[in-house]
Amino acid sequence: MKNLVRALVAIIITCALLIFSIDYLNKAEGYSSDNTLTIFNWGDYIDPDLIDQFEDETGIKVIYQTFDSNEAMMTKIEQGGTTYDIAVPSDYTIAKMIDEDLLLPIDYSKVVGMENIDKRFLDIEFDPNNEYSIPYFWGTVGIVYNPDLLGDMEITSWNDLWNPELENQIFLADGAREVVGMALNSLGFSLNSIDSAELAATSGKLQSLMPNVKAIVGDEIKMLLANEEAALGLVWSGDAAEIMYENEALTYVIPEEGTNLWSDNLVIPKTAKNIDAAYEFINFMLRPEVAAQNADYVGYSTPNAAAMELMDEEVIADERFYPGPDITDELEFYTNIGKANLAKYNDIFLEFKMSGQ
């Protein structure tokens, strides 16, 4: 028993020394909680040069951590093991985080540059009056395809994916909302439908797509499509831009039945330690020249209208990635459909994936 106590004491002392050493080294480098900003963002979703510029301008050290899904991000923040000063959730997740009291309201007396944001991306249902969120990037879900591999076949709609000639020619992004939403839209339903009959019809239609599906994959979908491992893919618009950069033979289409219009936003979690630094970062990212540089690096569409004036005209004139209001007004944001209904979507998606095994 004494040996066990000694071991526990030794562990406690070691941990304390480690914490002290890290704190000492950070202070020696000039870093403390007062001048450190911890950001939780999607992978490769900011130009690293901008982080360096922000640190040089402000003297604030950025700790940058990444997540690969909204759900993983939200779980980490709920658990509270790490305190994040800035996070970058998507639209429907922001609504969930507001409901669960995970976010601080934005103090607009500390924000500079909101007038730069396109009004299409403000005051949306998931966060009325932008009480908790600042737009960061936006885009659509659609189809990237290789005309060289399709012969005379044209791709303009979700329903084109059910063409029997596309057997084993489609990659799907591994997302329940995206895949189930695609099938809902193909039937003329809302991609936020919670109607039992519509969900049942959607499940049946998805099952009939499986012969055309080569695989359901994650980030590797970009490499696979660029390498012409299949003719088509369901992807986010920013991924499509990256794929097309790697292989100019590919193109992207927003399906005529409609699709998801999404928005990722900067938020301040309620557990944030350095709120002043969070506002400095928000204001930095709202600067037109910064937003323009970031959009050029990431490849997604910026909501910063002032930034667009500084960008390549060929880029912002491309309606595949910068569709006008006549298109975006017809598209849907994901809404928070609740845990029970989200479970139904996940069940439909899982059943669909299992049918291919």
Residue 32 above 70 pLDDT? no
Residue 15's pLDDT band (cuts 50, 70, 90): very low
Could you tell me if residue 117 is inside a domain?
yes
CA distance 46 to 44: 6
**Same domain, yes or no: 232 and 274:** no
Q: pLDDT, tens digit, for every residue of 129-179?
A: 999 999 999 999 999 999 999 999 999 999 999 999 999 999 999 999 999
* pLDDT value at residue 356: 72
Beta strands in 218-283, from DSSP E residues, in sequence order: 232-236, 251-253, 261-266
Residue 355's pLDDT band (cuts 50, 70, 90): confident
**Same domain, yes or no: 195 and 111:** no
Q: Who wins on pLDDT, 115 or 30?
A: 115
Q: pLDDT, tens digit, for every residue of 330-340?
A: 999 999 999 89
Counting Cα atoms < 13 Å in the Cβ hemisphere of 254 gives: 22
CATH number where 95 lies: 3.40.190.10
**Same domain, yes or no: 255 and 150:** yes
Interval 247-261 mean pLDDT: 97
Q: What is the pTM of this model?
A: 0.85
**Same domain, yes or no: 93 and 173:** no
Question: For the residues of 130-182, what is the DSSP string, one character each?
Answer: GSS-EEEEEEEEEEEE-GGGTTT----SGGGGG-GGGTT-EEEES-HHHHHHH
* pLDDT value at residue 80: 86
**Same domain, yes or no: 275 and 184:** no
Could you tell me if residue 245 is inside a domain?
yes
Instruction: Copy the structure tokens of residue 96.
Output: 């969930």
Residue 21's pLDDT band (cuts 50, 70, 90): very low
**Same domain, yes or no: 252 and 303:** no
Could you tell me if residue 24 is inside a domain?
no
* pLDDT value at residue 6: 56
CA distance 357 to 348: 15
Residue 310's pLDDT band (cuts 50, 70, 90): very high
Could you tell me if residue 242 is inside a domain?
yes
Give me the phi and psi of 256, to 5 degrees please: -70, -20
* pLDDT value at residue 68: 87
Could you tell me if residue 6 is inside a domain?
no
- Give the number of domains in the chain: 2
**Same domain, yes or no: 266 and 225:** no
* pLDDT value at residue 280: 98
The residue among 111, 113, 109, 133 whose CA lies nearest residue 121 is 133
CA distance 114 to 158: 36
What residue numbers bound the domain in which 55 lies? 34-132+262-322
